[in-house]
């Protein structure tokens, strides 16, 4: 056992508590005792217990009433009734109170050990999510991924805008140079070759300036789209 289990034994006979302590302490349990239900509830306010054993016949509140009170306050805590009064009525009421087991005295060490292992095991069932809960969780995850994708695009937007702002003047220069060369060629066919040669450096410069920014813009845009697709489909 990897962690010590806390067990509360409620019985007005101190010999019973000592018997439980002798058996369970060897199996990795820490046994705490209480003489009545009121003392047990007081201890449960300040300490969580993995299992509660309770006698039926005690001063004040009975063991079954204690089981009902524990079920109302801490329904995850298993309760095992231990009694020498194993009547059908008591068993039916204990079952209605949701006890894990109903043991009749006298108890053997094997009965104590097996009842503790069973009750603690049954108190920790596997968690099964309802379909509606699963769908709601998936919707939250998709919404969160979309939000992250939008943040990525928002952060990339200034860089993309800067690239286009620097790129457009260079592209405009290239277009103007090309249009001018075509106009000169139309009016002076013999001058076309010379005009084209004269304009070529400017066109080449425009494209040389523009292409790195175009490439950078395309890379940023592609990266942003990849991030968006990844978060949307993952």
Residues 6+ away with beta carbon under 8 Å from 129: 137
- Confidence class for position 168, pLDDT limits 50, 70, 90: low
Contacts 24+ apart (CB under 8 A), 155-160: 156/220, 156/221, 156/223, 156/224, 159/216, 159/220, 160/217, 160/220, 160/221, 160/224
Q: What count of residues does the chain have?
A: 234
DSSP assignment of 10-21 equals E-S-HHHHHHHH
Terminal Cα distance for the chain, rounded: 39
* Tens-digit pLDDT profile for residues 20-58: 999 999 999 999 999 999 999 999 999 999 999 999 999
- Return the higher-pLDDT residue of 211 and 134: 211
The domain locations on the chain are: 5-122, 131-233
CATH topology for the 5-122 domain:
Rossmann fold (3.40.50)
Q: What is the pLDDT of residue 165?
A: 65
The mean of the pLDDT values for the chain is: 77
Measuring CA to CA, which residue among 41, 112, 30, 113 is closest to residue 77? 41
Q: Is pLDDT at 128 greater than 50 in this prediction?
A: no
Q: In this prediction, what percent of the chain has a pLDDT beyond 70? A: 53
Which residue is it, tokens 């289990």? 5
Residues 215 and 200: their CA atoms lie apart, in Å, by 22
Mean pLDDT confidence for 91-105: 90
Q: What is the pTM of this model?
A: 0.52
- Confidence class for position 121, pLDDT limits 50, 70, 90: confident
């Amino acid at each position: 056992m990897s962690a010590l289990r806390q067990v509360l034994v409620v019985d007005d006979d101190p010999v019973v508590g000592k018997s439980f302590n002798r058996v369970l302490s060897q199996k990795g349990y820490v046994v705490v005792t209480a003489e009545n239900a009121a003392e047990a509830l007081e201890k449960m306010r300040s300490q969580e217990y993995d299992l509660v054993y309770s006698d039926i016949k005690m001063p004040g509140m009975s063991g079954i009433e204690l089981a009902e009170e524990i079920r109302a306050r801490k329904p995850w805590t298993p309760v095992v009734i231990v009694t020498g009064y194993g009547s059908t009525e008591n068993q039916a009421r204990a079952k209605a109170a949701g006890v894990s087991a109903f043991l009749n005295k006298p108890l053997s060490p094997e009965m104590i050990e097996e009842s503790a292992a069973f009750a603690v095991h049954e108190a920790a069932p596997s968690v099964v999510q309802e379909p509606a809960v699963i769908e709601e969780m998936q919707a939250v995850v998709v919404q969160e991924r979309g939000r992250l994708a939008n943040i990525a695009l928002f952060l990339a937007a200034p860089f993309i805008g800067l690239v286009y702002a620097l790129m457009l003047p260079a592209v405009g220069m290239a277009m103007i140079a090309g249009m001018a060369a075509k106009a000169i060629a139309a009016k002076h066919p013999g001058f076309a070759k010379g005009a084209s040669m004269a304009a070529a450096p400017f066109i080449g410069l425009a494209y040389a300036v523009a292409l790195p920014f175009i490439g950078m813009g395309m890379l940023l845009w592609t990266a942003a789209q990849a991030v968006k697709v990844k978060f949307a489909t993952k």
